[in-house]
Structure 1
């Protein structure tokens, strides 16, 4: 597959910065404080949803100053595309969740189908409680379930195509140090 890096660079140059690095880091610290207050005595299992959840999970875990286990799951509906399709499990959770509190950490709650499927899987595996933590909650009425919300959320965002801080544009710019929206989207 040939990638037009000039196009990828142009997308970043023309994008609107919706949240800068300082605003995002503050939101992550606040999420960490809220999670710590609720879970510091519960021996939770933290699951990073790959690949988007990589940045937020790594940064968030430095704010969780209590014992926890961390691992990852890889399920996607996007596969480097702009719109989601059928859920594709690449790596399912492997730890024993029976009787545990599980926190599923992802980059964004957009429609929520992927997150919903992961939460259901954890419950089926016997997790006592399953909570969700996302950096971004996209505001629209197309959620997988009416009223769907994450238990812990850093920032709300308008309904635009965004990238940065783990979120990608065609597989690129997960490393962008802000949350950016595509020009015209």
Structure 2
């Protein structure tokens, strides 16, 4: 199966947040996170693949502010290259024991939140004492899982198909240094 053209998608997309805006938002997020985790070393769980670019930059901002992190990652998906979610599939679970630990889940976007709700629930089942969510972007709509919200948010994005800065367009464009939204 041939993926749709990323170049064509970019022609039919609006720039929502440029690189400078995203970098400033990430730096701004680091302050309350550092303050909330002062005196502890949280388990810093990057949600793959989309969370990787954001998680790397946020980790550096936190390190610059004196917060140490214990790194691990997870890979759970409902999309598997599609544009709408299905059943949750675990590709990799963290190996770091979570019992009695504070956990910071770091992901590119909080959309409806079904995947994040399942991940959060799993972390609590593993004995994590505190589970918080840092999302680079939160999509503006009223379809989020009840009771689920990001604790730390970089930017808001419209209720459209968004890609770039970790978010993909048919498994392409995750490394674009900005966030784009397809035109309606």
Which TM-score band applies after superposition, normalised by the shorter structure? Answer: over 0.9
Is structure 2 residue 103 aligned with structure 1 residue 102? yes
Superposition TM-score, scaled by structure 2 size: 0.95
- Quote the Cα distance in structure 1 between the aligned partners of 2:87 and 2:134: 22
**Contact map agreement 1:45 1:103 (CA 8 A) in 2:** yes
Show structure 1 runs of 5+ residues with no match: none
Is structure 2 residue 31 aligned with structure 1 residue 46? no
Superposition TM-score, scaled by structure 1 size: 0.94
**Contact map agreement 1:48 1:104 (CA 8 A) in 2:** yes
- Quote the Cα distance in structure 2 between the aligned partners of 1:157 and 1:48: 21
Which residue is equivalent to 2:145?
144
Find runs of 4+ consecutive structure 1 residues off by over 6 angstroms.
none
Cα deviation for residue 175 of structure 1 reads 1.0
Counterparts of 1:172-183 in structure 2, within 5 Å, are 172-183=172-183
**Contact map agreement 2:44 2:71 (CA 8 A) in 1:** yes
Which secondary structure does the structure 2 equivalent of 1:106 belong to?
strand
- Quote the Cα distance in structure 2 between the aligned partners of 1:43 and 1:51: 23
Show structure 2 runs of 5+ residues with no match: none
- Quote the Cα distance in structure 1 between the aligned partners of 2:111 and 2:123: 20
- How well do the aligned residues superpose, as a CA RMSD in angstroms? 1.1
Cα deviation for residue 14 of structure 1 reads 2.4
Q: Give CA-to-partner distance per residue, 1:105-126, whole Å, 9 cap, x none.
A: 0111000011111111110111
Is structure 2 residue 78 aligned with structure 1 residue 77? yes
Equivalent pairs counted in the alignment come to: 181
